[in-house]
């Protein structure tokens, strides 16, 4: 007795922003991803949940074009990128990532130049995209930091002097500075104090509401996914074991693993 097969979307108009299909990746004998498919619609927040080694972060890195799968295709519905993004050359990938995709890593060292100023970290992204006016750089960096609810009195301090929560806000400001089509969040609040975590999530939620940014958020924390996501993909051993609306997956999980996960948490 299984649930019924779901039909193809009928009511949403237009194409999904992100479409990945047939993604497989092996590291030697280890299967990191096995025939994974993902779809994200414009304005939607997709959560990806799973334990360490489930392949969720590897998948996110592929969405950021940092890694290429052995097989599979990746499309973003943007005018400048008609084909499979994995076929793009290095230069085109970099340009696409700088202009269209923002990412916030769990480890701020991956996303930030710790010794440069916080506003400079945000400005660098604008510089890569070709902005050359100092006044504009300054104003846009300020605007992005403000939108991330970063205290502007500290905007020229280097991230290495900031708390973990503030570092994540700098990463976020950098990620949204160019108003990306897609915002990727890799365990954005893991390792933060619970109270700080709530505030960072709240900032993300606000941004999502005010700007309708399409997001993909990876977390092992079900609470984070429940707060942030519209739909969720549950991954295990490199496969998607279950996918659905967040309230449905958490209230009526179908797969034994999801049930275990949900019951262990709630």
Partner 1 sequence: MPNSDTGTQVLRVEGLSKSFRMHHLGQSLHAFEGVSFTLNAGEFLLLKGPNGVGKSTLLRTIWRSYLPEAGHVWFTHDAGRIDLARAADVDIAVLRRRDMGFVTQFLIARPRVPAEEIVAEPLRKAGVAQIDALEEARRWLSAFGVKRDLWRAYPTSFSGGEQQKVNLARALIQPPRLLLLDEPTASLDAGARAALVARLAELKAAGVAMIGVFHHPGDVAAMVDRNILLTAKEVENVAL
Partner 2 sequence: MTLATLTRPWAAMSYGFLDASAKREMRRKIIKAIAVPGCQMPYASREVPIARGWGTGGLQVTLTLIKPASVVKVIDQGADDSVNAASIRRFLSRVSGAAETWDTLEATILQSRHRIPEERLRDDQVLVLQVPNPEPLRPVQPNMSIARQMHADADYGRLWLVLYEQMVRSGRIVQGAAYPSLVNGRHVMTPSPIPRWDVPKLHMAHHLTLLSAGREKRLYAVPPFTRVEPLVFSDVPYQVEDHAGLTCHRSGLSGVFMNEIPQDSGGSVFEASDSNLGIKAIRQAEGEATKIGPMWYENGELRP
Q: Which residues contact partner 1 (rule: CB under 8 A)?
A: 1-12, 41, 44, 198-199, 202, 205-206, 209, 227, 230-231, 243-245, 247-248, 251-252, 254-256, 259-260, 263
Q: Is 153 in the site for partner 2 (CB under 8 A)?
A: no
Q: Is 104 in the site for partner 2 (CB under 8 A)?
A: no
Q: How far is the CB of 9 from partner 1 (least distance, A)?
A: 4
Q: Is 89 in the site for partner 2 (CB under 8 A)?
A: no
The tokens for 100 are 């269209």
| C-alpha–C-alpha distance, residues 174 and 15, integer Å | 27
- Please identify, using beta-carbon distances, which residue of 65 and 76 lies nearer to partner 1: 76
What part of residues 109-128 is at the interface with partner 2 (CB under 8 A)? 113, 116-117, 119-120, 123-125, 127-128
- Please identify, using beta-carbon distances, which residue of 127 and 245 lies nearer to partner 2: 127
| C-alpha–C-alpha distance, residues 7 and 117, integer Å | 50
Among 135, 194, 209, 263, binds partner 2 (CB under 8 A): 135
263 binds, among partner 2, partner 1, none (CB under 5 to 8 A by kind): partner 1
Q: What would you report as the CA-atom Rg of the chain, rounded to the nearest whole angstrom?
A: 18
Q: Is 138 in the site for partner 2 (CB under 8 A)?
A: yes
| C-alpha–C-alpha distance, residues 197 and 177, integer Å | 22
- Please identify, using beta-carbon distances, which residue of 56 and 140 lies nearer to partner 2: 140
| C-alpha–C-alpha distance, residues 166 and 21, integer Å | 36
DSSP states of 237-262: TTEEEEEEEHHHHHHS--SHHHHHHH
In this structure, are residues 215 and 136 in contact, taking their beta carbons and an 8 Å threshold?
no
Residue 7 DSSP class: P
């Amino acid at each position: 007795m299984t649930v019924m097969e779901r039909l193809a979307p009928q009511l949403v108009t237009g194409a999904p922003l992100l479409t990945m299909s047939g993604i497989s990746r092996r590291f030697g004998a280890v299967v990191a991803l096995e025939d994974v498919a993902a779809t994200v619609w414009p304005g939607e927040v997709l959560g990806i949940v799973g334990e360490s080694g489930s392949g969720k972060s590897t998948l996110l890195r592929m969405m950021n074009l940092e890694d290429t799968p052995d097989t599979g295709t990746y499309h973003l519905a943007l005018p400048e990128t008609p084909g499979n993004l994995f076929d793009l050359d290095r230069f085109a990938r970099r340009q696409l990532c700088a202009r269209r995709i923002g990412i916030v890593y769990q480890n701020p060292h991956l996303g930030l130049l710790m010794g440069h100023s916080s506003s400079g970290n945000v400005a660098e992204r604008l510089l890569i995209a070709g902005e050359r006016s100092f006044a504009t750089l300054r104003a846009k960096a300020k605007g992005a930091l403000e939108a991330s609810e970063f205290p502007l009195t500290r905007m020229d301090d280097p991230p290495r002097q900031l708390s973990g929560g503030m570092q994540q806000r700098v990463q976020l400001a950098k990620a949204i500075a160019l108003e990306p089509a897609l915002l990727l969040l890799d365990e954005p609040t893991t390792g933060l104090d619970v109270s700080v975590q709530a505030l960072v999530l709240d900032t993300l939620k606000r941004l999502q509401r005010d700007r309708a940014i399409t997001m993909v958020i990876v977390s092992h924390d079900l609470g984070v996914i429940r707060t942030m996501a519209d739909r969720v993909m549950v991954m295990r051993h490199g496969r998607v074991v279950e996918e659905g609306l967040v309230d449905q997956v958490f209230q009526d999980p179908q797969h034994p693993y999801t049930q275990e996960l949900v019951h262990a948490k709630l």
